[in-house]
Amino acid sequence: MTLNNNLTDPKALEVKSWLRDFKCTQALGDGPEILPTLVDRKRRFMKTSIFKRNKKKFLTQINSLDGILTGSSALSLYTLNGKPVFDRSGADQDWLLTRDNFMKFCGMNDFSKVTVENTVCTVDFHTGHYGGYDSYGHKKFDYFHTWFDIIGTDSHNYSHDFDGIKVSDYMEVIDWKMRFVEKNYGVRNLENAVRKHTNDLFEFMTKVMAFS
């Protein structure tokens, strides 16, 4: 992967500098202990009902295929000294599967609109009702939904067993967000995504600094 070397956003640069020092501290065993401990939030993310049959079906399949919750939802389950280090709803969930299990998942659900890039396969879909946006850019009639991004990869991903599911290690999530920002900074059609991940990183950084 060739990273964009023209990163100049002050907020992103602040996070990048802090993250480098933070990882060195953690490697030396002097950093804070950050673990997934928010059981109630995890159960809220996974909650289903008679109105969320598709969500229940997909979560059951993903867990049976040893899926790993990753991304912002995973990061939202971590605490430092009992304090949450990140806060996002579980209405947008990212899951990792091995490449073979990803293919099985697609076969179970007749998914064929799959994106393949290098060794990574992805498919995203929506459950529930989705009403789109009005002319002011506000969501309308949006309820009982969960966005799923399922990622199939050949690489091994370290995870934690937490309350019945596997959760990506927080550092893998943070590293991915930082790589995304570096790689896509300045790419016009990805400006919003870069801004979102930069803000996520900044939130994580400030929470760790506050609660360490």
Half-sphere exposure of 179 (CA within 13 A, CB side): 8
Cα–Cα distances in Å, from 212 out to 81, 83, 116? 7, 10, 40
Identify any residues that bridge with 96 across adjacent strands, giving them in sequence order: 68, 151
**What are the average pLDDT values for consecutive 10-residue runs of the chain, which has 212 residues?**
68 97 93 96 90 85 95 97 93 91 90 77 60 50 68 88 97 96 94 95 97 94
- pLDDT value for 113: 80
- pLDDT value for 119: 63
Residue 103, token pair as written in the block: 């293919």
The C-alpha torsion from 113 through 194 and 25 to 168, rounded to 10°, is -20
Name the residue with tokens 């979102």. 196
